[in-house]
Amino acid sequence: MRYPIRTIFSSNKFTVNAAVYGPVWKSLRRNMVQNMPSSTRLREFRTVRDNAMEKLINRLRTEAENNNGVVFVRKDARFATFCILVAMCFGLDMEEHKVEKIDQVMKNVLITLNPRLDD
């Protein structure tokens, strides 16, 4: 059975998790391993991580003050992670409301398409 959603999410099987083991998969994996977790890349995005953590702390503090000390950590941690990913992928430090809007669009896409875990 073919799943059109899998084709869309895997860029027609041109991602590390969707490609068939072989030369393409090896090339994708090598690029991922060599470029993503390197110390140079980590240093390059330090300010991005610092900014996201500052936003996270501010959001948690504000939420705690407005909610008798109760905070929803998962929502705020997801936001901080999304800020990091947006900056890494697009090279932008976006305003919080724009990041929230992108996050909401992503949630709507996932809910609408109902992809499987391996997608």
Residue-wise pLDDT for 90-118, tens only, equals 777 788 888 888 888 878 877 776 665 55
Kindly state whether residues 70 and 103 are assigned to the same domain. yes
Amino acid symbol at 28: L
Asked whether the whole model's pTM tops 0.75, one would answer no
H or E stretch covering 24? helix 23-35
Say if 119 falls within a structural domain: no
Kindly state whether residues 20 and 57 are assigned to the same domain. no
Kindly state whether residues 33 and 52 are assigned to the same domain. no
Kindly state whether residues 50 and 100 are assigned to the same domain. yes
Tokens representing residue 79 in the block = 């936001």
Kindly state whether residues 32 and 55 are assigned to the same domain. no
Kindly state whether residues 17 and 57 are assigned to the same domain. no
Provide the domain limits for residue 20. Answer: 1-37
Kindly state whether residues 107 and 49 are assigned to the same domain. yes
Residue-wise pLDDT for 50-64, tens only, equals 999 999 999 999 999
